[in-house]
Amino acid sequence: MSADLNALSIFITVSEEQSFRAAADRLGVTRSAVSQAVRRLEDSLGTPLFRRTTRSLGLTEAGDTLRRDIAPAMAELREAAEKVRGLGGAPRGQLRLAVSSIAESFLSGPLLAGFARAFPEVQLDILVTDEEDDIVAMGFDAGVRLGEVIEQDMIAIPVSGDQHQLAVCSPAYLAEHGAPDHPRDLARHRCIGWRPAPHRPPYRWEFSEAGREFVVDVAPECTTNDMGLMIRMALHGAGITFGMAETFESHLRRGELVALLPGFSTPFPGFYLYYPSRRAVDPRLRALIEHVRKRRAPPGS
């Protein structure tokens, strides 16, 4: 039996939102209409697609297989419809982005606020995440990640310059515990670490010496996926933390944090806006690409 295309689209939206109510709000329909569409789809396929409890909603194995198989095609259908809709004027509609939490230059505000002012009919839907999921399968138009983790079949546009990482602490912590002379000395210090997701191990602190890169497995007293919490704890003397230098820039400038071991840090390629190369560029995404390029262009160019 053939499946209803509208029901498939609703199924994808529910799987993205992980909520019937949120999917209904996003689609502008009632929760009942969403539930009925999913039930009809499950009946036509002869298998449950979601595991429902009073507190959570998750995909069954069949649901996850269906999502992975049809999400790229559904995204292309949405893109085609929006592309035709956008031919009559300025870009409009929703632009979905998956952005790394450490992409400070992209998330700091000015770039996105400038884009929102320039294109008021485009609604930005931004998921801040450090999961390296397939953006096409998850229904995103584009993502922002470090260049080194972007798949080779993607088109990538730089949104930042080269990056380097720093270990930092507060002046109070430095006065009490002293500064490490070498990264291996970090084992004797209190450290505040970063973990991108609950099922992932804590990030290993990366350094270089005499052109050779190496990592240090610190034993953090606190580990979190929230860089803001890491910074606040470091500001209050809880220990040494580690991350992108630009994340700490304002605190370093005001003297609230102190850079440690700067001689063991070398630059590497920064963050990129990336999107699939096999699809035509949606007008909304094209507008964001041009906005990023203009902001990064040298004055007078």
pLDDT tens string 252-289: 999 999 999 999 988 888 999 999 876 668 889 999 99
Neighbours of 287 (CB within 10 A): 19
Q: What is the pLDDT of residue 276?
A: 86
Question: For residue 13, which of 21, 22, 23 has the smallest C-alpha distance?
Answer: 23
Confidence band, pLDDT 50/70/90 cuts, at residue 241 = very high
Lowest-pLDDT choice from 33-37, 77-81, 222-226, 263-267: 77-81
Question: For residue 207, which of 188, 185, 189 has the smallest C-alpha distance?
Answer: 185
Distance, CA of 275 to CA of 282 (rounded, Å): 10
Cβ neighbours of residue 244 under 8 Å, at least 6 residues apart?
A: 102, 104, 163, 164, 165, 166
Q: Which amino acid is at 212?
A: R
Angle at Cα 26 formed by Cα 24 and Cα 31, nearest 5°?
5
Q: What is the pLDDT of residue 3?
A: 59
Q: What is the pLDDT of residue 219?
A: 86
Q: What is the pTM of this model?
A: 0.65
| 8 A C-beta contact, residue 228 and residue 247 | no
pLDDT tens string 10-40: 999 999 888 898 888 888 888 898 999 999 9
Neighbours of 194 (CB within 10 A): 22
Report the share of the chain in percent with pLDDT over 90.
49
Cα torsion through 227, 232, 237, 241, rounded to 10: 10
Listing DSSP states for the chain in one string gives -PPPHHHHHHHHHHHHHT-HHHHHHHHTS-HHHHHHHHHHHHHHHTS--EEE-SS-EEE-HHHHHHHHHHHHHHHHHHHHHHHHHGGGSS--EEEEEEE-TT-HHHHSSHHHHHHHHH-TTEEEEEEE------TTTTT-SEEEEEGGGS-TTEEEEE-S--B-EEEEE-HHHHHHH---SSGGGGGGS-EEEE-SSTTSPPPPEEEEETTEEEEE----SEEES-HHHHHHHHHTTS-EEEEEHHHHHHHHHTTSSEEE-GGG---B--EEEEEETTSPPPHHHHHHHHHHHHHHSPTT-
Distance, CA of 179 to CA of 145 (rounded, Å): 32
Question: For residue 153, which of 134, 169, 140 has the smallest C-alpha distance?
Answer: 134
Distance, CA of 241 to CA of 224 (rounded, Å): 11
| 8 A C-beta contact, residue 41 and residue 3 | yes
Q: What is the pLDDT of residue 82?
A: 65
Mean pLDDT (the chain) is 88
pLDDT tens string 92-148: 889 999 999 888 888 888 999 999 999 999 999 999 988 877 888 788 999 999 988
